[in-house]
Amino acid sequence: MGPLLSMWASIALLSMTLTAILASQYPFEMPGTPHVSQANVTFKEGPDVFSPKDLVQLTRPGSAVANPSGDLAFVSLSKYSLDERKYVNFMVVKGLTEYALSRRTDRKIQGKSQEVYAVSVQDEGVKSASEPALIGKFPATGLTNFKYSAEASTLVFSAYVWPDTNLSTIKEQDEAYENRGTTALVYDTAYVRHWDTWAGPKRSTLFSVSLKKENDQWVLGDDYLASLNGTDHYTPVEPFGGTDNFDISSKHIAYTTKDPSVPEAWHTRQNIYLVPLKGGEKPKQLTTGKQGTTNSPVFSPQGTKVAWTEMAMNLIVHFLQSKDCYLRP
Ligand SMILES: *[C@@H]1O[C@H](CO)[C@@H](O)[C@H](O)[C@H]1NC(C)=O
Ligand SMILES: *[C@@H]1O[C@H](CO)[C@@H](O)[C@H](O)[C@H]1NC(C)=O
Ligand SMILES: *[C@@H]1O[C@H](CO)[C@@H](O)[C@H](O)[C@H]1NC(C)=O
């Protein structure tokens, strides 16, 4: 979304620039006069010139994830190639002074599954990264917001799922929904839109799965635990929530979600809850229930405390009756 949005911004900027150049070069013509010549627009390029092409092809970084010792950060990068007319995604391991590149240029997600790879970082004076080695495949695509606890050998992530919270049935249910024969949507609750997309039947929820090193080999488990199954909690909260909506320790997941006891559309309130990483217990609410929105829960290094930010008051939206009031798509 981020890179795409900035790409849009760049294209919009580029076309605005082009329009401005063209407008200033055309001589005044009476309406109806056919164009007989075409202005040739060439962009100035050179090592000391920042051209529109450079702008479009700028590398767009994702957010950095630090390793536990804090001397390295992993950053995913995305770069648009004008020659190939596509985005090229790769990862960088960045140290304080050196960096190593691990390019995964042509490995696109294909078919039904999303894969997980391991890259080992060697430190022989200069840090370097190995070629990515395939660890395993997930049962679905679209999995995101990964967090790993090395102590608990557990990987936690989010996915948009159907009410059965089953990763294996997402694709099949997506296809059935796409082919339902109508695009009409009927809402009987007030929450209809997540910013710029219609709220649909799928919701965002958290999963955990075992990921551990056995005999020097990484092994991905196949028992996916839907940590919030059976609750009416959904996180990350749409549309802006991401890895800042939950945190994991070696024993727990702390997350923010809309307070399920108040109408979603009219209240800002989000509560923070704690649930065991291995499941088996109901979520425990940590917030007082008087606050507004909450964000960025983080565990202390020992996992004994959770900190988060919160809005002091719950803001409630009141709609006064008005005959001029209408909803527009
Ligand atoms: C644009 O370039 C073409 C090919 O180089 C040339 O024939 C034409 O005269 C140019 N047009 C203008 C308006 O400079
Ligand atoms: C998920 O769906 C698959 C395929 O239909 C099924 O085999 C599996 O038992 C389901 N898992 C759960 C936890 O319901
Ligand atoms: C989620 O809970 C429902 C109802 O209790 C159950 O049928 C389903 O198998 C559960 N899904 C997973 C992935 O545990």
> In this structure, what DSSP letter does residue 10 have?
H
The Cβ-side half-sphere exposure at 273, using a 13 Å CA radius, reads 24
> How much distance in Å is there from the Cα of 164 to the middle of ligand 3?
6
Looking at residue 236, its amino acid is P
Helix (H) or strand (E) holding 208: strand 203-214
User: For position 227, what pLDDT does the model report?
Assistant: 93
Enter the pTM of the model.
0.74
If we measure between CA atoms, which residue out of 127, 131, 99 comes closest to residue 117? Answer: 131
What does the pLDDT read at residue 278? 92
Tell me the β-bridge partners of 226.
Answer: 207
Q: How far from the centroid of its chain's Cα atoms is residue 56's Cα?
A: 22
Q: The tokens 């109408």 sit on which residue?
A: 263
Q: How far is the CA of 164 from the centre of ligand 2 (A)?
A: 9
* Shortest-distance Cα residue to atom 5 of ligand 3: 230
Check: CB of residue 67 under 8 Å from CB of residue 73.
yes
For residue 123, what are the β-bridge partners? 127
Give 225 Cα–ligand 3 centroid separation in angstroms.
9
Other CB atoms within a 10 A radius of the CB of residue 124 amount to: 6
Q: Where are the domains of the chain?
A: 48-137, 140-329
Question: In this structure, which residue's CA is closest to atom 7 in ligand 3?
Answer: 164
Of the residues 22, 36, 38, which should be mutated to test ligand 1's pocket, given the most ligand atoms within 8 Å of the CB?
38
pLDDT at 1: 38
Nearest CA to ligand 3 atom 4: 230
- Output the six-digit token pair for 198: 């219609």
CB 193 within 8 A of CB 199: yes
For residue 128, the model assigns a pLDDT of 65
Q: Is the CB of 173 under 6 A from ligand 2?
A: no
DSSP E strands, 73-141: 73-81, 86-94, 99-103, 114-118, 121-124, 126-129, 133-138
Residues β-bridged to residue 61: 77
Say if residues 77 and 62 touch (Cβ distance below 8 Å).
Answer: yes
Q: In this predicted structure, what is the pLDDT of residue 294? A: 96
Mean pLDDT in order along the chain per 10 residues (329 residues): 39 36 43 62 88 90 79 81 81 55 39 74 66 87 91 95 95 95 89 86 96 92 94 93 95 96 90 95 94 95 94 75 44
Count of Cβ atoms closer than 10 Å to residue 311 Cβ: 14
Ligand nearest to the CA of 27: 1
